[in-house]
Amino acid sequence: MATIPLLAILLLILLSFIFLLWRPSIASIRNKNFSLLEWPLLGMLPGLLCNVWADDLHGYITRTLKENGGTIVFKGPWFADMDFILTCDPINAHHIFSKSYAKYGKNEDFRAMFEVLGDGIFNVDGESWKFQRQMLHSILNNEELQNYMMTTLKLKLEGTLFRILDNYCSSRTGAEVDMQDVAKKFMFDNICLWVLGFDPGYLCVDGRSKTFSCGKAFEEIEEGIIYRHIVPKGVWEFQKRFEIGSERKISLSTKVLDEFLYNAVKIKKQEMLHKEEQRQHHDMLTQWLVADHQSPDKFLRDIALTLISAGRDTLSSTLSLLLWLVATHPDVERNILGEIERVMAVMTRTARGTSRFLISKDDLNELVYLHAAIYETLRLYPPLPFEHRCANEADVLPSGHKVHKGMRMLFSMYSMGRMEETWGKDCMDFKPERWISDEGNIIHVPSQKFMTFLTGSRTCLGKAMSFMLLKFMVSSILWNYKFEMVVGHVVKPTPSMVLSMKDGLKMRVSKRNV
């Protein structure tokens, strides 16, 4: 008799395995309305998503949402507690993130999935969130911090990035450069300077590439978190307990980040013992400790990790995607360069930066077209393509969909930026002009329609700062260098927590005759 359950389990495993190997055509499952009650096998969901995953997850979700009026309900097997609603409807967004925000939060399940972030602002609700939001609001708006960021950014551009690009330009063989890899390392070094006050030096001029252990650790954790979203909690918890597969990667990567961060916190605390040294440092962690010197090491580690994650991926993703879009849209490139030239013409010589840094911080506001090009990049390619909340109580969405307590709510910002109802028939085109009014100003789009920086009380605290940094970097880089795509290189988004390009961004670079 004991052989019957054993055979049933073996059959289940075999069927799941067959499903994993079978690559169903996307078209055949598109109209299935995702009732997983029809698919009682536990292995089917990961199998299905792994297959879709390989074929452009974000594009697939966008097409499916468009066909289903902007909202879809996924029903998981009854024992797996995996039901969720996926939406990109602006009215639902307003309801979830603003009007009824108390009904939706970051509950225990959410915190378990994102446990690497500890008690940092991304992972908490209530009093702890309020306290951190107030503290970070004043730190990120501090002028000393912003001046420090601009000074270190200039040094890193001139001392490292430009020298690397110069080397590529002088190479006779016309070497290819992976600009996504360069942007990731460049932003990681910068964000560590801004958050921790030191430069780990991952981007090397002499080509002796240091192993990008922290970058790899971030990527493995992000991939592991996506996996936690698509399998039942019990499955990943089991894997975690026995350190199997992606859970083993998360565990090893967390150790890499912990070692790096605890060491940085130790150094910072030692610096804080000397008043003189404190005054010389303007980084975010120093400022946090000046305001609250009793924070324990674990909390400082969580805050530092949160700020590094908030800035590193978002900025490097926007920078590399914008370089790609500019390289493939010559008219946009011409307009950006023309605008820089015009702004420079009205600036006095003293207001101009050095020959390689043309526009000073105070004149960045004049770069309206570049501002619009950044908005347009962020519309089509939001660095954080999904937002996740959990229902604290039962509810009904404005779209009429029923929500039960504990249900997961997934919001696709990627799809929202591609909806014809909001952006018009040319919604798939890269057109910075759509952001500029007849009077030449940036058109304001309500945040529940353009959710790249979220909407409601938890909107991004780094939005203004990001535009300042991106405009400075992009104007300086494009004025000095021309980028062209390597023929045959195809850009595809990865299915990750943070949008990036699957096979990198292979480009050729040459100096501009300016």
Residue 439's CB is within 10 A of a number of other CB atoms, namely: 6
Q: Please select the residue that binds ligand HEM; options are 65, 465, 473, 507, rule is CB under 6 A.
A: 465
Contact call for residue 287 and ligand HEM (CB under 6 A)? no
Choice between 314 and 494, CB closer to ligand HEM: 314
**Identity (one letter) of the amino acid at 202?**
Y
For 287, which DSSP code? H
For 388, which DSSP code? E
Contact call for residue 118 and ligand HEM (CB under 6 A)? no
Contact call for residue 397 and ligand HEM (CB under 6 A)? no
Helix (H) or strand (E) run with residue 149 in it: helix 143-156
Q: Please select the residue that binds ligand HEM; options are 139, 325, 364, 461, rule is CB under 6 A.
A: 461
Q: How does strand 481-485 pair with strand 506-511? A: antiparallel
Contact call for residue 454 and ligand HEM (CB under 6 A)? yes
Q: Is 204 annotated as a binding residue?
A: no
Torsion angle of alpha carbons 292, 298, 300, 304, nearest 10°? -160
Q: Please select the residue that binds ligand HEM; options are 384, 391, 397, 409, rule is CB under 6 A.
A: 384
Contact call for residue 289 and ligand HEM (CB under 6 A)? no
Binding segment for ligand HEM among 133-141, 320-328, 354-362, 494-502 (CB under 6 A)? 133-141
Shortest Cβ 78–ligand HEM spacing (Å):
29
Contact call for residue 186 and ligand HEM (CB under 6 A)? no
Encoded tokens for 305: 């990790």
Contact call for residue 315 and ligand HEM (CB under 6 A)? yes
Contact call for residue 310 and ligand HEM (CB under 6 A)? yes
Q: Please select the residue that binds ligand HEM; options are 386, 450, 453, 472, rule is CB under 6 A.
A: 453
Choice between 140 and 337, CB closer to ligand HEM: 140
Q: Count residues near ligand HEM (CB under 6 A).
A: 23
Name the residue among 433, 215, 423, 269 with its Cα closest to residue 335. Answer: 433
Residue 239 to residues 15, 77, 109, 164, 303: CA-CA distances in angstroms? 21, 20, 16, 42, 27
Q: Which residues are CB-contacts of 281 (< 8 A; sequence separation ≥ 6)? A: 197, 271
Q: Please select the residue that binds ligand HEM; options are 160, 335, 466, 476, rule is CB under 6 A.
A: 466
Q: How does strand 386-391 pair with strand 408-412? A: antiparallel
Helix (H) or strand (E) run with residue 322 in it: helix 297-327
Contact call for residue 281 and ligand HEM (CB under 6 A)? no
Residue 199 to residues 94, 227, 256, 410: CA-CA distances in angstroms? 40, 32, 17, 36
Residue pair 48/400 in contact (Cβ under 8 Å)? The answer is no
Angle, CA 466 vertex, CA 130 and CA 92 arms, to 5°:
60
Encoded tokens for 71: 């909202």
Shortest Cβ 322–ligand HEM spacing (Å):
10
Contact call for residue 34 and ligand HEM (CB under 6 A)? no
Q: Please select the residue that binds ligand HEM; options are 458, 471, 506, 508, rule is CB under 6 A.
A: 458
Q: Please select the residue that binds ligand HEM; options are 146, 246, 314, 480, rule is CB under 6 A.
A: 314
Shortest Cβ 218–ligand HEM spacing (Å):
15
Distance CA(190)–CA(157), nearest Å, equals 10
Q: Please select the residue that binds ligand HEM; options are 42, 45, 121, 264, rule is CB under 6 A.
A: 121
Distance CA(259)–CA(172), nearest Å, equals 41
Name the residue among 446, 426, 332, 429 with its Cα closest to residue 94. Answer: 446
Encoded tokens for 115: 């446990």
Q: Please select the residue that binds ligand HEM; options are 23, 130, 133, 492, rule is CB under 6 A.
A: 133
For 198, which DSSP code? -
Shortest Cβ 428–ligand HEM spacing (Å):
20
Binding segment for ligand HEM among 132-140, 208-216, 328-336, 425-433 (CB under 6 A)? 132-140
Binding segment for ligand HEM among 223-231, 251-259, 344-352, 458-466 (CB under 6 A)? 458-466
Q: How does strand 104-105 pair with strand 71-74? A: unpaired
Give contact residues for ligand HEM (rule: CB under 6 A): 121-122, 133, 136, 140, 307, 310-311, 314-315, 318, 383-384, 387, 452-454, 458, 460-462, 465-466
Known binding positions: 460
Known binding positions for heme: 460
